[in-house]
Amino acid sequence: MAEMPLTSPAVKPANPNFSSGPCAKRPGWTVDALKDALVGRSHRSKPAKARIQRAIDLTRQLLEVPEDYLIGIVPASDTGAVEMFMWSALGARGVDMMAWESFGEGWVTDVQKQLKLADVRVIKAPYGQLPDLGQVDFSRDVVFTWNGTTSGVRVPDAEWIPADREGLTICDATSAAFAQNLDFTKLDVVTFSWQKALGGEAAHGILILSPRAVERLETYKPDRPLPKIFRLTKGGKLIGEIFEGATINTVSMLCIEDAVDAMDWGMQEGGLAALQRRADTNFEVIAEWVEKTPWVDFLATAPETRSNTSVCLVIVDPEVKALSEDQQAALAKGIVSRLDKAGVAYDIGHYRDAPVGLRIWTGSTVETSDVKALLPWLDFAFASEKAALVKAAA
């Protein structure tokens, strides 16, 4: 195979934002999208509550959430949404915790070291793999991430979850919502944040509850104190206003307006199926490139588990693999830095706890033309950094 040229490509991505959160804004976004935001108004005012309710209604419509599920906007992004439910509802029965990347590991830490629940099973797999889904006991509660943002590994579907389960399924879907097919009939609690597949702003989370999840909240009282922002019930009853536009604490009306704008765009694009196609198409472009590019491969080993949003790549070039771990890390860092300085791709380094490599967001708000323009630059940056590193190591 001929060596890759060390001449930079002529075309750059029009939008170099490939961060895995906050992610690229929807195509055509400008700050003018926020011109009608209800800034300076109380979030309790009638117009503001109506706008918050609009965000909830659009979430239901665009994500195709069943009518009997509740949707609330809560503090502290996806993390706040997950922890709010875990602290409010876990402990009623045993719990199976699933982890195959950093955020799943974080939920394990919460349950074992903070909540200190007595009956906890941890089902783990290393980066790049899924654990054995057949190990899960659905007579227990189950906590899992649908799409591991830091590993690029997702569950392929919900077929492994029984419809007649006894426990609750609690799904962190923050890098899956709007880009992957969430089967709500198999999910009792779903959480995500706007900053991922919608390209929205950070700080707020979405908490979606099935009737079974609501029943748990109203029938189980944990023996631990709950901070105000975690309290979902009062007097043994769900605080229904949380799911009707009356948020637990003050929300940013700029963020609300931005989320409404992103979901309006999603509806105009053709709804959920169209957003999923956009992400799938972006992933397919990278998959075709990986197939013919010998220096790179997916971190996710099984094709059916590869994320179409948080694409994690590892460098497998034999000459590079022969170098020390520090040298390999320096090469990956050099690629990231070179493309950043060139204004080609921002924030594509691997997550700090993940194996050395690259992480490229290809969710619904990313244009396929930008993904295509990025790939020659990845080849160029790799060839340039490898040549410099091999020369220095000689």
Among 268, 299, 324, the domain boundary falls at 268
Q: Is the pLDDT of residue 329 over 80?
A: yes
Give the integer Cα–Cα distance in Å for 94 and 189: 17
Q: What is residue 5's predicted lDDT score, i.e. its pLDDT? A: 56
Among 212, 242, 268, the domain boundary falls at 268
The mean pLDDT of 82-104, rounded to a whole number, is 97
Q: What is residue 1's predicted lDDT score, i.e. its pLDDT? A: 36
Q: Rounded to two decimals, what is the model's pTM?
A: 0.96
Residue 119 shares a structural domain with residue 67: yes
- Asked if residues 141 and 167 have their Cβ atoms less than 8 Å apart, the reply is yes
The mean pLDDT of 274-281, rounded to a whole number, is 98
Give a yes or no: residue 331 inside a domain. yes
pLDDT digits (tens, 9 = 90+) for 161-174: 999 999 999 999 99
Give the integer Cα–Cα distance in Å for 394 and 371: 34
Give the integer Cα–Cα distance in Å for 175 and 185: 19
Q: What is residue 2's predicted lDDT score, i.e. its pLDDT? A: 42
Q: Is the pLDDT of residue 4 over 80?
A: no
The mean pLDDT of 188-205, rounded to a whole number, is 97
Give the integer Cα–Cα distance in Å for 278 and 7: 31
DSSP state of 157: -
Give a yes or no: residue 38 inside a domain. yes
The mean pLDDT of 43-60, rounded to a whole number, is 97
Give a yes or no: residue 12 inside a domain. no
Q: Is the pLDDT of residue 394 over 80?
A: no
For the record, the structure tokens of 351 come out as 């997550």
Q: What is residue 166's predicted lDDT score, i.e. its pLDDT? A: 98
pLDDT digits (tens, 9 = 90+) for 110-131: 999 999 999 999 999 999 999 9
Residue 55 shares a structural domain with residue 144: yes
The mean pLDDT of 69-95, rounded to a whole number, is 97
pLDDT digits (tens, 9 = 90+) for 210-265: 999 999 999 999 999 999 999 999 999 999 999 999 899 899 999 999 999 999 99
Q: Helix and strand tally (H, E) in the chain? A: 9, 14
- Asked if residues 368 and 18 have their Cβ atoms less than 8 Å apart, the reply is no
Q: What is residue 391's predicted lDDT score, i.e. its pLDDT? A: 78
CATH assignment at residue 67: 3.40.640.10
Q: Which domain holds residue 351?
A: 271-393
**271 Ramachandran zone, left/alpha/beta (phi>0; psi -120 to 50):** left
Question: What is the rounded average pLDDT for all residues in the chain?
Answer: 96
